[in-house]
Amino acid sequence: MKVCLAGEGAMGTNHMKVIQGIDGIEVVSVAGGIEADTAEFANKFGIPHFSLDLEECLDRPGVEAVVLTSPNQIHARHTEMALNAGKHVLVEIPMGLSLEESRRVAELESETGLVCMVCHTLRYSPPHVEMRRLVRSGDLDLHHLVWQTYFFRRVNTNMFGKPRTWTDDLLWHHVCHMVDYMYWLFDDPDMEVWGQKGPKHPELGIPMDLSIGLRTAKDCLITGAFSFNNHGAISSSCRFIGEQESYRIEKGSLFDHEDSETKLAGNSLELQDREFFAAIEEGRPPLSSCAECLPVMNLLDRLERSILGAEG
């Protein structure tokens, strides 16, 4: 299968490293935002064509699908462009930066009948999948989940420290990971939600800290802390406080309360990307289709309105 990739940054690099190990998948074109970086990316990965024009890349002979790792602000527009061009789409989260954008994308997915999959990577992460198994089987009754995601991002750089041409968003990007997982874990689109934000950065113009709360229909509390102000490396962890046991997921591993690790095999990004190509080949919806994930965007919209309401 011939594939186009959009985005020459950190996530484009991560996807390329995975795709190169999947038999039968060939990236034949890369669409970028900065010409020198895009040329370097194409040369590094042996991609025969590059352009700053996504339409040109989608029109390359034989291209059936596109992996979109472009800036958050143009995810919805690029997804619509690709679907209208008859291409299957794997889009990094978020599928849109508003509920309206997300609805539009999900509607077009339905109209075209193409595979349009969102990179809700935690649905493919072995530790997160195992915790869902424990909860859904009734082996673990949860009282409280505590989620923490920390960055140091007071300047516009990506995870590799390279300058960015766009500004990240804590709510619609990083909180989206948490909210999607909680929705998938509990199958509860009507969770209570509330949130507050810290001051905006004087140059970036975005809130650098968020405090997020949710409550499920079964009265499980979910507490989230998100910061772009935390000194240190990028980190994300989740603590599952249950009746029978307490677990935590940290640095990609699952531990119980005695720090005993459950050994689990599999790379979440590889499992996710393989699901995309398998869904195309098998003619079925993927696990994290736009339609499946639309309730998540509704929860984020409600969170945003709660945060704005808390400002007065």
Is residue 145 within 8 Å of residue 176, measured between CB atoms?
A: no
With beta carbons less than 8 A apart as the criterion, state whether 86 and 102 touch. no
Predicted pLDDT of residue 51:
97
Q: What percent of the chain has pLDDT over 70?
A: 98
| Angle at alpha carbon of residue 245, lines to 242 and 247, rounded to 5° | 85
Distance from C-alpha of 233 to C-alpha of 111, rounded to nearest angstrom: 42
pLDDT band at 312 (very low <50, low <70, confident <90, very high): low
pLDDT (0 to 100) of residue 167: 83
3-state secondary structure 37-92: HHHHHHHHHCCCCEECCHHHHHCCCCEEEEEECCCHHHHHHHHHHHHHCCCEEEEE
Q: What is the pLDDT of residues 12-35, one digit of tens each?
A: 999 999 999 999 999 999 999 999
Distance CA 37, CA 96 (A): 25
162 has pLDDT over 90: no
- pLDDT range class, residue 159, cuts 50, 70, 90: low
* Distance, CA of 118 to chain centre: 7
CA nearest neighbour of 216 among 240, 254, 188: 188
Question: 240: helix, coil or strand?
Answer: strand
Query: What is the Cα 277 distance to its own chain's centre?
Result: 17
268-282 and 126-136 are packed helices; what angle lies between their axes, rounded to 10 degrees? 80
Side by side, which strands form the sheet with 116-119? 50-51, 26-31, 2-6, 63-68, 88-92, 116-119
Residue 153 — pLDDT band, cuts 50, 70, 90?
confident
What is the model's pLDDT at position 166? Answer: 76
Q: Which residue has the higher pLDDT, 51 or 311?
A: 51
Token pair, residue 96, equals 């849109």
Region 56-73: what's the mean pLDDT?
A: 96
Q: What is the mean pLDDT of residues 40-52?
A: 97
Residue 86 has a pLDDT of 98
Mean pLDDT of 285-306: 97
For 266, half-sphere exposure in the C-beta direction (CA atoms, 13 angstrom radius) is 19
What is the overall mean pLDDT for the chain? 95
Contact 138, 175 (CB under 8 A): no
Question: Which pLDDT tens digit goes with each residue over 229-287?
Answer: 999 988 999 999 999 999 999 999 999 999 999 999 999 999 999 999 999 999 999 99
Roughly how many angstroms between the first and final C-alpha of the chain, as a whole number? 52
Residue 262: predicted pLDDT: 97
Cβ atoms within 10 A of the Cβ of 265, count?
A: 5
Spatial CB neighbours of 214, under 8 Å, sequence gap ≥ 6: 179, 182, 191, 192, 193, 194, 221, 222, 224, 299
